[in-house]
Amino acid sequence: MNKISKIESIIEQIQTPCYVCEEALLEENLKLLAYVGEQSGAKVLLALKGFAFSALAPLVSKYLKGCTCSGLHEAKFAKEYFGGEIHTYSPAFKEEDIEEVIALSHHLVFNSFAQLQKFKTKAFGKCSLGLRLNPEVSSSPVDIYNPCGLYSRLGITKEQFLPEELEGIEGLHFHALCEQDVDALEEVLKGFEEKFGEYIPQMKWINFGGGHHITREDYDVQKLIELIKNFKAKYGVEVYIEPGEAVGWQSGPLVVSVLDVVKNGMDIAILDSSAEAHMPDTLAMPYRASIRGAGEAGEKAYTYRLGGNTCLAGDIMGDYSFDAPLRAGDKLIFEDMIHYTIVKNTTFNGIKLPDLAVLRKDGTYEVTSKFGYEEYRRRN
Ligand SMILES: Cc1ncc(COP(=O)(O)O)c(C=O)c1O
């Protein structure tokens, strides 16, 4: 893929902080995901938890088969904005939500046999029912994103599996990957088949979950297509994959402004944004976000620690260097900030939520959601 960002062409128009999704870049991702679907025969869903951007739902729906949802609210959002199938899985469904969830969902996936027993009668005949299984194989890079880690609550282990209670179950689901390539999927599938392979032929579908980094430049797309085709041929089942991150991957930045520069042993720039509230994975995972045109500390002439506009001492994006000194009013472009950011934002410290905007393919810039005090007031 040849991803060329055009953000600089409209930078003057951007009121910060703002997430700007570049429609053309998103569409490149969607085309590749649709290609995987066409060539492999798998159905590709969007995992809403990673990328929920209503203004772009029509574009997503043009290429993907529907949404995978984590519960009632995402299922409602999928119904309101997207077309296609709605698949809902939750670690545990609540009694008060279940009827609405059933009415909205095409597939309903339970995390335990107890939940299945509790809601089976209500759901039977209305949704295609499935179980999330834990293949207990995962090379997920960090513990907080390892669904197969020690004592994981996500999915039924082989030890807890009750083959005698599979009546009415049409599908099996696993989710074991995080930003991983197809070799990791191959390993997980091996474990899944070793543990649960004998039950696959009686199913209509198998859902391979998310975490497939399909739109990353070095991902082996062809190998994924072959792997899915072989699996489908071997078992005669429908295969689903449900990436979130791969949909929004490198499809746009968070644009912020420098508010002030202070000194305490080094130069520190305070931004009108927050690592804690607007880019939480940089602290949770953690990882270093890249900034367009900036280098590592000391690499360029002017080094700054970049910090958020909150009282949290650790609200730090990192140390970066620039060719020119930073001044109040300068804009910075934090790359690849569309997935797992907007969906995780908070109004901690009353900080303004970044607006959402789209840079359309024809070059027009459209602010699609504006946020202010109201968001803070409603939530507190
Ligand atoms: C059940 C399930 N499906 C799909 C996904 C999407 O994963 P990713 O965004 O890494 O592709 C997740 C992410 O946590 C998940 O828990």
Is residue 209 over pLDDT 90? yes
CA of 357 to the centre of ligand 1 (A): 24
Task: Assess contact for 116 and 129: CB atoms under 8 A.
Answer: yes
pLDDT digits (tens, 9 = 90+) for 20-36: 999 999 999 999 999 99
CATH of domain 23-248: 3.20.20.10
Domain ranges of the chain: 23-248, 254-379
Mean per-residue pLDDT of the chain: 97
Domain 254-379 class, CATH top level:
mainly beta
Which amino acid type is present at position 310? T
Is residue 216 over pLDDT 60? yes
At 140, the pLDDT band (50, 70, 90 cuts) reads: confident
Task: Assess contact for 336 and 51: CB atoms under 8 A.
Answer: no
**pLDDT score of 99:** 98
The SS3 of residue 195 is helix
Q: Is 180 exposed, middle or buried (0-12, 13-18, 19+ CB in 10 A)?
A: buried
Is residue 374 over pLDDT 70? yes
pLDDT digits (tens, 9 = 90+) for 156-169: 999 999 999 999 99
**pLDDT score of 35:** 98
CA of 42 to the centre of ligand 1 (A): 17
Which amino acid type is present at position 77? F
Of 213, 242, 245, 249, the one to substitute when testing ligand 1's pocket (max ligand atoms within 8 A of C-beta) is 242
Element (H, E) at 128: strand 128-132
Residue 89 in contact with ligand 1 by CB distance below 6 A: yes
pTM for this entry: 0.97
Is residue 2 over pLDDT 80? no
Separation of alpha carbons 314 and 312, rounded Å: 5
Nearest atom within ligand 1 for CA of residue 244: 9
Q: Is 319 exposed, middle or buried (0-12, 13-18, 19+ CB in 10 A)?
A: middle
Is residue 287 over pLDDT 80? yes
Beta-sheet pairing, 254-263 with 302-307? unpaired
Of 70, 152, 175, 251, the one to substitute when testing ligand 1's pocket (max ligand atoms within 8 A of C-beta) is 175
Nearest atom within ligand 1 for CA of residue 50: 9
Mean pLDDT calculated for residue range 215-233: 98
Is residue 326 over pLDDT 90? yes
pLDDT digits (tens, 9 = 90+) for 58-72: 999 999 999 999 999
Nearest atom within ligand 1 for CA of residue 178: 10
Upper half-sphere CA count for residue 72 (Cβ side, 13 Å):
10
Residue 50 in contact with ligand 1 by CB distance below 6 A: yes
Is residue 139 over pLDDT 90? no
Is residue 214 over pLDDT 60? yes
Nearest CA to ligand 1 atom 12: 210
pLDDT digits (tens, 9 = 90+) for 113-129: 999 999 999 999 999 99
Residue 74 in contact with ligand 1 by CB distance below 6 A: no
Percent of the chain exceeding pLDDT 70 equals 99
Neighbour count for residue 175 (Cβ, 10 Å): 25
**pLDDT score of 331:** 98
**pLDDT score of 1:** 55
Is residue 138 over pLDDT 90? no
Residue 246 in contact with ligand 1 by CB distance below 6 A: yes
Residue 52 in contact with ligand 1 by CB distance below 6 A: no
